[in-house]
Structure 1
Amino acid sequence: MIHATYLPRRTLLAAAAAPLLTGCSAVQVLDALVPRDNYRADIGLAYGALSRQRIDVYQPSRSAAAASPRPPLVVFFYGGNWTTGQRADYRFVGEALAGAGAVVAIPDYRLSPGVRYPTFLEDCAQAVRWAVNHADRYGADPDRLVLMGHSAGAYNAAMLALDPRWLQAVGLSPRRVSAWIGLAGPYDFLPIDEPMTRAAFEWPATPADSQPIAHVTPQSPPALLLAADRDDTVDPDRNSAGLAERLRAAGVEVSFKRYPRVNHVTLVGSLGTPLRWMAPVRRDVLRFLGLVAS
């Protein structure tokens, strides 16, 4: 056993921060500890007329941009059971990816109980259209559009990637999505037991085609599915493993990875600088994006 006094200071700091990830202040802790000198950000841009229809864009620093002149465009959707969340708390995700060369857009979207399914998907589709329309402004390659999300946000990413209705409704071809990434997403969760999820999807009137797993076809884009072994919120076997199996059966390129040391929240938390020791999530995401981890 290694005595704690011999651990690097960064590891001790991360170990101290890790328990905070069980609470709602976790992302604020991560944001306070990540670097600020390897990206540029445009904050609070409007992709629609409503107050929740705002988006933040993270660009590589000039040195990073020079190494990757046409980086991928990643649109990241945060989780929160479709009832909570705000883009301002996910700067650590923007830094994790923009610091390695990606252009990252993180939108807010309307939440339950103010709205119900599928309104949050409609907002997410509008945000994607805005990101594609502004890709040139930020130096991103609009043909390397990658949708990404955690938990409920992974559901949003999956639905936009797999079900053509949502992007078509905003004038985008579903083929614009070159790939998608899901972290601990719920992809097959009927019947619904959790009260807030019931409200968001108006259970028991929830349509069967609200489930991402119902939309897998041989034309589905490649996927990276990441899951935590210690996930007590979203069953990784039924959801991530089940969707990976369905995609493979359809002949779709998919990579599925599970991590033994993280839970539902620390899975995405490990993208942040202080918690990267917990799981190589950032490394695996960057490799999938064709970028090199720094």
Structure 2
Amino acid sequence: MENRGENGQLLVRASTLPTLPSNTYNYQTRKRKKPLNKTKSTPPRLGRQGSFSREIGHAAAETYLITRLAFKLLSYLGLGYRWITRFLGLALYAMLLMPGFLQVAFYYFFSPLVRRSVVYGDQPRNRLDLYLPAKIDSPKPVVAFVTGGAWIIGYKAWGSLLGKQLSEHDIIVACFDYRNFPQGTIGDMEEDVSQGISFVCNNIADYGGDPNRIYLMGQSAGAHISSCALVKQAIKESRGETVCWSTSQIKAYFGLSGGYNLPNLVDHFNNRGLYRSIFLSIMEGEESLQKFSPEIMVQDQSSKAAVHLLPHIILFHGTSDCSIPSDSSKAFVDTLHGVGAQAELILYEGKTHTDLFLQDPLRGGKDDLFGYIVAYIHANDKEALDKDAMVPPRRRLVPEILLKLACRTSPF
């Protein structure tokens, strides 16, 4: 089915909605630490929110860690022409978008609605940021978001623009940090993300979130990691293993510009500057590529029962994405259809790897991706839909000429 969005861009959809067995999760057996105060107009404080001096100390420790890991990463990369030119392009790209980044950074560091660096686990970088609506008078839907960054430069603050926009529509957003390479490999990243999802599922009610309305979302490398965590959790549940969160708690999965079949992407990434040796080191060797490929995992006959535990999966991709081809999302959706899973593909004609996540939101106004996600989450809430209709269009954060120049210089 084809239709055109508000800006005339072509949206290509492919979907199937087979009848699935209903999965339930008993939330009543979990005792809340703090009851939700439904009359409170300001977000509750987090007990783990440290003092300003403690936050400065944490920032210093993070800076030291990142610097040390950067030198270690350079020892892996060497003096490669492709990655150096990509890095210089990234620096120029960031400079052109700096007017918008500075405004979002001011919100991130100074808004009372942002709770930074909530600890969700015992490992390094097991922290998340929470973006809260201005008024929490009833349990709010939640988006658990995993940022991208080529498995190397992912950082929770990359989701601050998304967090700001969704929280303005009464949706709580939790953005995860996770160990990047070379601090960790893909197994560590997947473990961290699963731990973060567990924290959200089991604790978000304490911060005004609705544990019955949690949506998982990932972008780029974050889409790959989060989809791995989701599929492997379903496999564990289907085998009767003990789990600390359930796939039945996830209402839907949103995957943005992700890659889901690693063996098919090795050569492509190598040609783009993410060299084969580095990529295989991140993925724990060539022999591990299949076990960290959701598209391959769902085809395993031993995982057949797990497929029906998966939530509705919706993948978004731009057709002009050079970093991860849109065929990656199309192939995954086709595979999901083939095994009887509930899946949908939405392609955005002419959009690049970062258009949907950065340039379009910085442009302001309305865009199809953001509108789709909000409408999907609020689909059964007429009051929320009415409020969404009253929200004014988003403000432009970057002049159009800078956005066009950024698109030309983008390394993505």
Q: Same fold (TM over 0.5)?
A: yes
Residues 88 and 162 from structure 1, CA distance in 2 versus in 1: closer, same or farther, beyond 3 angstroms?
A: same
Aligned-residue offset at 1:24: 4.7
Structure 1 residue aligned with 2:325: 235
Q: Which has the higher helix share?
A: 2
Structure 1 residue aligned with 2:93: 23
Structure 1 residue aligned with 2:102: 32
Structure 1 residue aligned with 2:255: 182
Q: Secondary structure at the match of 1:264?
A: coil
**Post-superposition CA distance 1:130-151 (Å, at most 9, x none):** 1122211221111222110100
Bigger shift: residues 281-290 or 27-36 = 27-36
Residues 278 and 286 from structure 1, CA distance in 2 versus in 1: closer, same or farther, beyond 3 angstroms?
A: closer
Bigger shift: residues 35-44 or 190-199 = 35-44
Q: What TM-score comes out, normalization by structure 1 length?
A: 0.81
Name the count of aligned residue pairs.
Answer: 270
Aligned-residue offset at 1:202: 2.8
Provide the rounded CA distance (Å) in 2 between the counterparts of 1:31 and 1:169. 42
Q: Structure 2 regions of 5+ residues with no counterpart?
A: 1-88, 299-306, 379-383, 392-412
Aligned-residue offset at 1:79: 0.5
State which of 110, 129, 139 in structure 2 corresponds to 1:56.
Answer: 129
**Post-superposition CA distance 1:115-159 (Å, at most 9, x none):** 112110000011111112221122111122211010000112211
Structure 2 residue aligned with 1:123: 192
Aligned-residue offset at 1:61: 1.1
Residues 288 and 102 from structure 1, CA distance in 2 versus in 1: closer, same or farther, beyond 3 angstroms?
A: same
Structure 2 residue identity aligned to 1:264? H
Q: Structure 1 regions of 5+ residues with no counterpart?
A: 1-18
Matches within 5 A, 1:77-96: 77-96=146-165
Structure 1 residue aligned with 2:244: 171
RMSD: 2.8
Provide the rounded CA distance (Å) in 1 between the counterparts of 2:197 and 2:94. 27
Whether the 8 Å contact between 1:77 and 1:106 is mirrored in structure 2 is yes
**Post-superposition CA distance 1:49-75 (Å, at most 9, x none):** 34411110111111xx44xx2222211
Structure 1 residue aligned with 2:140: 71
Whether the 8 Å contact between 2:218 and 2:254 is mirrored in structure 1 is yes
Q: Secondary structure at the match of 1:119?
A: helix
Aligned-residue offset at 1:84: 0.6
State which of 194, 201, 212 in structure 2 corresponds to 1:143.
Answer: 212
Structure 1 residue aligned with 2:116: 43
Q: What TM-score comes out, normalization by structure 2 length?
A: 0.59
Percent identity of the aligned residues? Answer: 23
Residues 134 and 28 from structure 1, CA distance in 2 versus in 1: closer, same or farther, beyond 3 angstroms?
A: farther
Residues 218 and 166 from structure 1, CA distance in 2 versus in 1: closer, same or farther, beyond 3 angstroms?
A: closer
Provide the rounded CA distance (Å) in 2 between the counterparts of 1:25 and 1:93. 20
Structure 1 residue aligned with 2:340: 251
Residues 270 and 162 from structure 1, CA distance in 2 versus in 1: closer, same or farther, beyond 3 angstroms?
A: farther
Residues 188 and 20 from structure 1, CA distance in 2 versus in 1: closer, same or farther, beyond 3 angstroms?
A: closer
Bigger shift: residues 167-176 or 245-254 = 167-176
Provide the rounded CA distance (Å) in 1 between the counterparts of 2:156 and 2:98. 11
Q: Secondary structure at the match of 2:178?
A: coil
Whether the 8 Å contact between 2:316 and 2:347 is mirrored in structure 1 is yes
**Post-superposition CA distance 1:249-268 (Å, at most 9, x none):** 33333231111242101221
Structure 1 residue aligned with 2:286: 204
Structure 2 residue identity aligned to 1:174? T
Q: Work out whether 1:132 is the aligned partner of 2:220.
A: no
Whether the 8 Å contact between 2:262 and 2:289 is mirrored in structure 1 is no
